[in-house]
Chains A and B, each alone.
Chain A
C-alpha cells in the first residue's frame, strides 16, 4: 500500500481541495487578496478564488479551490481501531446468557445541561438508528435510559440502584468544552463512590469527543460519530465478559 497520498480532485495526486471561510472585511480586491493569502498559508497553492460574497457591512464569504501541497503520511496516522469482534444481537444475547447467567445491566443518560438525547436514544431506544435496533431490543440486556439533563449524583445513584454493569453517557451539544468537564466530573464521581472492582464500565459518546482521550477523561471507552448500537453491545460483551474471562485465566495460569 502507498504510504503517502494527496487529496483527489479528478486526477491522482492533484491535491485538489475546496474550502470556504469568512473574513471580517468588506468585499473588494484587497479582501480577495487576503483570502488568497490565507489559502496559501493553509498550503493551497495555486488557489482559485471561485466565489466571494459580502454579508452585511464588514464580512465576506469566500469559496476557494486549490491544490494543497501537504502530503498525508499514512504510516503516521493514529486512530482507535475496533479491537473487539462485531457480534449480532443473537450472539450478544447468547454470550450474556451463557457466561453471565443474568441480565447485563446498562444505565444511560445525557448529563449536564445537554438536552439533546438523540445520541443516547439512538443507541438505547428500541427504535435504534439506521435500521439497527437499540440496546433495549437485546433480550439479555436490561436498559434504563434516564434521559436528558441528569446530574452526576443522580446518575451515580441510578447506576448503584440498577447495579449497572455499564454506564453510557452521551454529550451532543457542547460549548467551551463542557462535554470534557462533564465527563471528567462523571468519572471522578464514580471513582469516589465505588471501589474499582464494583465500578461499572464507563462509556461516553458524542460527535465532539476524541476517541483517544479515554485515559485523560477517566473512562473506559469513547465512541465517536456514526457509532451503532451493535458496536456498543459488542464492546460491552468484549469488555465485561471476554476480557474478564481472559484476565481470570491469566491469573490462574
Chain B
C-alpha cells in the first residue's frame, strides 16, 4: 500500500525512523538490564503457577514476594525458586510449584541463590518448565491460524472493533455474541477502572466491576470460548481484545497468550502518562509483554489517541507521529512484525475548527503512508462529543468516512452517547448502522482518493512530519526519559524517579536468569549469527 499519496520525501521518512531508533535505544538498554515483580510473576505463570490465597492474592505474588524478601529480585526468581524445589524434594511441576508458593506464603520455606552445579540444575529445570508454558502459547497460535483458515477473516477492511463493558463476564458474553452477530469483527472487553493500578491479577470469573470487567485468566477463557462459538456460527473468525497495560502488563500479556486472545492494547507510554506508573517499570514490563505478544501472534494496539484527548489535536498532531514511530521501534526490537502493529490515532480535532475534516484526513493519511504494512487502529471522537447525540452521530459518520478514505486497518466504532452513558444496546446498533452505511457506500473510496499535489492535505501532512522530526531531534538531545519528565507527550509531566510501581523494579545482578526471556529471544539470536 506504499502509494505515496502525500509525496513524502523518503529521505525524511528514513530520518524520522532513524531518530526514533536513536531515542529508543537507551530505553531498550535500560529495559534489558532491569526486571520487575510483574515480569518475574509472568515467568512463574508460564511455569504453571496458578490460583490465589483465600484473600484473592495470587500465589505468583506470594512466591515472588517471598523470594524478594530473602534474596532480592536482582537474580530473577527462576533460580531461587527451582533451587528451593530441589532442596525440598519437590518435583519441578506446575502443581508442586504452586505447593511451594503456599509453603513460602506460610513462611516455611527460605530461599537461597544456588551455587556451582545447583545453578545449572535450577536453570535447566526452570527452562524446561517455562518452555511448557510457551509451548502452550505456540499451540494457541497454531489453533488461531487453523480457525482463520477454516472460518476466514472479515471480508472488509477496516475490521470493525466494538467494546463491551458491563462489569459482569456473564453479561458481557451474550452482549459480545450479539455484537459479533451485528457485524463486529473484534470484541474488546474494557477493564474495570482501577485495574491498571492493581499490582496483582484477580483470579476467576468476575461479576463486579466499575465501568468494565476485570481481566482475569478465567474471564479470558470464557469469552474466547464464546467467541469461538460465534466464529463457527458466523463463518468468520471473531477476534478478542483486552488490555496489557498497568502494573501487571507482562502477566496479562502472558495470560492472553495462554488463552488465545488476538489483540492487546499495549502502548509504550500510556501507563506512564495517563496512569502515573513509573517510566522504568513501564518500559521494562512493556518489552517483556511485547516479546510474549510477538510469540503469540497477537496484534498490539497502541494508545496515541489518548494524547489528543488531553492536548489539542491540531497542535499535538506531531506527538502522535512521534509516539507511533517510537512504538514501532520498541515493537520491532521486541520481535513484533509489521502486521502486528495496530498503531493508534484518532479523530479528535474540534469540529468547530474550519477545515477540521481536511486536517483529520491529512493526519490519518500521514499515518497510513508512514506505516504502510501496519493495521492502523482508527479511534473515534470522544473529546468533542457533547451529549448532543444527533450531532455525535454525524461526527461518527465523518470519522467512519476518514477511515474508509485512508484505508485504516481497525476501526473502533464510535458511539453517539460517548460521554453520556456506557453504550446501550440501541446505541451500539445505531453506531454499527452508521459504519455499515459508510463502508457500504464508500468503502473503497481510498482507491480514488488522491490529495491534490501540494494541496492543503499534502502540505498539512508534510508540516506534521517536519514537526515530528524536530521533536525527535529534541528528544534525542534530551533523552526520551527526560522528554517524558518534561511533559512532551500529552502535557503530562512524569519524571523517571516517580510514579507508581517503582519499588517493584530491580536492576539485574550478575547471573540474572530469566528462562522466558532466554527462550523468547532465542530465534532472534540465531538470526543474528
A residues bordering B, Cβ < 8 Å? 20-22, 53, 55-56, 59, 61, 112-115, 117-118, 121, 125, 127, 147-149, 172-173, 175-176, 178, 207, 225
Name A53's contact: one of B194, B275, B387, B429 (CB within 8 Å): B429
Assembly CA distance A52 to B144 (angstroms): 39
Q: Mark B182-222, 1 if CB is under 8 A from A, else 0.
A: 10000000001110010000000000001100000000000
- Shortest B126–chain A CB gap in Å is 36
Q: Which of B181, B310, B426 is packed against the most chain A CB atoms within 10 Å?
A: B426
Could you list some 25 contacts between A and B, CB below 8 A? Answer: A20-B426, A22-B425, A55-B178, A55-B182, A55-B425, A56-B182, A59-B426, A61-B425, A61-B429, A61-B430, A112-B194, A113-B194, A114-B193, A115-B274, A117-B310, A118-B309, A121-B310, A147-B276, A147-B492, A148-B276, A149-B275, A173-B211, A175-B167, A175-B210, A225-B387
Assembly CA distance A207 to B309 (angstroms): 18
- Residues of chain B with a CB closer than 8 A to A125's CB: 491
Q: Which of B104-131 contact A (CB under 8 A)?
A: none
Assembly CA distance A121 to B312 (angstroms): 12
Assembly CA distance A14 to B383 (angstroms): 36
- Residues of chain B with a CB closer than 8 A to A207's CB: 387, 419
B197 adjacent to A149 (CB under 8 Å): yes
A148 adjacent to B426 (CB under 8 Å): no
- Residues of chain B with a CB closer than 8 A to A127's CB: 312, 491
Assembly CA distance A165 to B77 (angstroms): 49
Name A56's contact: one of B181, B193, B422, B491 (CB within 8 Å): B181
Name B210's contact: one of A59, A117, A172, A178 (CB within 8 Å): A178
Per CB-CB distance, the 7 closest pairs between chain A and chain B, nearest first, are A113-B194, A113-B193, A61-B426, A55-B429, A56-B178, A22-B426, A175-B210
Across the interface, name the chain B residue whose C-beta is closest to A117.
B310
Interface residue? B437 (CB, 8 A): no
Assembly CA distance A53 to B211 (angstroms): 28
- Residues of chain A with a CB closer than 8 A to B312's CB: 127
- Residues of chain B with a CB closer than 8 A to A112's CB: 194
- Residues of chain B with a CB closer than 8 A to A173's CB: 193, 211
- Residues of chain A with a CB closer than 8 A to B426's CB: 20-22, 55, 59, 61
- Residues of chain A with a CB closer than 8 A to B424's CB: 22
A148 adjacent to B274 (CB under 8 Å): yes
B210 adjacent to A113 (CB under 8 Å): yes
Q: Which of A22, A113, A172 is packed against the most chain B CB atoms within 10 Å?
A: A113
Q: Mark B270-295, 1 if CB is under 8 A from A, else 0.
A: 00001110000000000000000000
- Shortest A56–chain B CB gap in Å is 5
User: Number of contacting residues on B, CB 8 A?
Assistant: 27
Assembly CA distance A147 to B312 (angstroms): 18
Assembly CA distance A225 to B386 (angstroms): 10
- Residues of chain A with a CB closer than 8 A to B274's CB: 115, 148
- Shortest A148–chain B CB gap in Å is 7
Known contacts A148-B274, A173-B211: A115-B383 contact under CB 8 Å: no
Assembly CA distance A127 to B308 (angstroms): 13
Assembly CA distance A22 to B197 (angstroms): 36
Name A115's contact: one of B275, B387, B422, B429 (CB within 8 Å): B275
Assembly CA distance A130 to B457 (angstroms): 26
Q: Which of B370-405 contact A (CB under 8 A)?
A: 383, 387
Assembly CA distance A26 to B181 (angstroms): 16
- Shortest A53–chain B CB gap in Å is 7
- Residues of chain B with a CB closer than 8 A to A22's CB: 424-426
Name A59's contact: one of B167, B387, B425 (CB within 8 Å): B425
- Shortest B164–chain A CB gap in Å is 13
Q: Mark B171-185, 1 if CB is under 8 A from A, else 0.
A: 000000010011000
Q: Which of A56, A117, A147 is packed against the most chain B CB atoms within 10 Å?
A: A56
Other 12 A-B pairs with CB < 8 A, given A149-B275, A176-B210: A22-B426, A55-B426, A55-B429, A56-B178, A61-B430, A115-B193, A117-B310, A118-B383, A175-B167, A175-B211, A175-B422, A207-B419
- Residues of chain B with a CB closer than 8 A to A225's CB: 387
Assembly CA distance A21 to B193 (angstroms): 28
- Residues of chain B with a CB closer than 8 A to A118's CB: 309, 383
Assembly CA distance A172 to B422 (angstroms): 12
- Shortest B215–chain A CB gap in Å is 15
Assembly CA distance A55 to B383 (angstroms): 28
Q: Which of B194, B210, B422 is packed against the most chain A CB atoms within 10 Å?
A: B210
- Residues of chain B with a CB closer than 8 A to A175's CB: 167, 210-211, 422
- Residues of chain A with a CB closer than 8 A to B211's CB: 173, 175
Assembly CA distance A181 to B425 (angstroms): 28
- Shortest A208–chain B CB gap in Å is 10
Q: Mark B400-437, 1 if CB is under 8 A from A, else 0.
A: 00000000000000000001001011100110000000
Assembly CA distance A176 to B168 (angstroms): 14
- Residues of chain B with a CB closer than 8 A to A117's CB: 310
- Shortest A83–chain B CB gap in Å is 26
Assembly CA distance A173 to B426 (angstroms): 20
Across the interface, name the chain A residue whose C-beta is closest to B179.
A56
- Residues of chain B with a CB closer than 8 A to A121's CB: 310
Assembly CA distance A118 to B274 (angstroms): 12
- Residues of chain A with a CB closer than 8 A to B192's CB: 113
Across the interface, name the chain A residue whose C-beta is closest to B432.
A55
Assembly CA distance A208 to B204 (angstroms): 32
Across the interface, name the chain A residue whose C-beta is closest to B309.
A118
Assembly CA distance A207 to B417 (angstroms): 13
- Shortest B102–chain A CB gap in Å is 31
- Shortest A130–chain B CB gap in Å is 9
- Residues of chain A with a CB closer than 8 A to B210's CB: 113, 175-176, 178
- Shortest A183–chain B CB gap in Å is 16
Assembly CA distance A121 to B406 (angstroms): 32
- Residues of chain B with a CB closer than 8 A to A176's CB: 210
- Shortest A154–chain B CB gap in Å is 11
- Shortest B261–chain A CB gap in Å is 22
